[in-house]
Amino acid sequence: MDEIVSENETGVARAKTAGEASPAQGSPALEVAGLQAWYGDRHVLKDVSLTARTGRILAIIGPSGCGKSTLLACLNRSIELAEGARWSGQVRLAGVPTQGWTADKVRERVGLVMQKPTPFPFSIERNITYALRNRGVRKRAQLSAAVEQQLRAVGLYDELSGDARRSALELSGGQQQRLCIARALAVEPGVLLLDEPCSALDIASTSAVEDVLRRAAKTCAIVIVTHNLAQARRLADDVVCMSGGEVAWEGTVDELFERQHNTVLRPLYGSDLL
């Protein structure tokens, strides 16, 4: 499939499929059908299907060991890096089947932020421009514009007084996690996956990250795995509840917490829900 290079308002180049338009709010950015995964002989995911939509945040919740993180690894194709792991199923990005795509091509469109902040051990600026440079962006003005845009988007620009030359390792844990989100968003993914991104953060840092995700959801689909039901209730538009490697329930956050609280959550979590 042919690709062209377009530029966003900052002039940052982005690879797009020829004829691709900006996704409409509410349109399916990620569609999964019949997804299964194994680690060796252990069957971890069993016929998982879901849809994540542009402009909305989808929370994946469920007890420990139910397959939430494995699901994200399949969607980003990082599961293929694990020895003895395999997966099957259908995945569509913006309506396009990804069968036959390379893992790198998938990762260009599906970003992943892990539980522990993982900034690269060099400057803040280079963290954000790393993937852009790998994709051929070389003009200093474009790269500088991308750095400022992303630092402002995650609320770091003023905190750093605009100085992106500092080492990323000098930042606090919460700042590092926001930097990792900025790094993922710099290449304008259609889908951003986050695996427990706030589990190691304090209340203030968690609130800052949640604000970032609400803003990011305006331009892409957000899929967040969280063990924190209160966070899912605050942040998500849609929820998928998993149990034993399967989807136990899916719907809107209001349907879950306001109308089906007892029938869905209590069997999974018991009486201590929030």
Q: In this predicted model, what pLDDT tens digit does every residue of 79-131 receive, in sequence order?
A: 999 999 999 999 999 999 999 999 999 998 999 999 999 999 999 999 999 88
Domain boundaries, the chain: 27-269
Residue 1 scores a pLDDT above 60: no
Q: In this predicted model, what pLDDT tens digit does every residue of 39-74 receive, in sequence order?
A: 999 999 999 999 999 999 999 999 889 999 999 999
Residue 270 scores a pLDDT above 90: no
Tell me the pLDDT of the chain averaged across its residues: 88
- Superfamily of 27-269 according to CATH: P-loop containing nucleotide triphosphate hydrolases (3.40.50.300)
Q: What confidence score (pLDDT) does residue 3 get?
A: 35
Q: What confidence score (pLDDT) does residue 17 get?
A: 42
Q: What strands, in cross-sheet order, belong to the sheet with 191-195?
A: 110-113, 191-195, 221-225, 57-61, 238-243, 246-252
Model confidence, pTM: 0.87
Q: What confidence score (pLDDT) does residue 29 get?
A: 96
- Tell me the C-alpha to C-alpha distance, in Å, between residue 220 and each of 23, 82, 99: 8, 28, 21
Q: In this predicted model, what pLDDT tens digit does every residue of 214-269 receive, in sequence order?
A: 999 999 999 999 989 999 999 999 999 999 999 999 999 999 988 777 788 878 77
Q: In this predicted model, what pLDDT tens digit does every residue of 8-33 receive, in sequence order?
A: 433 444 444 434 555 688 899 999 99
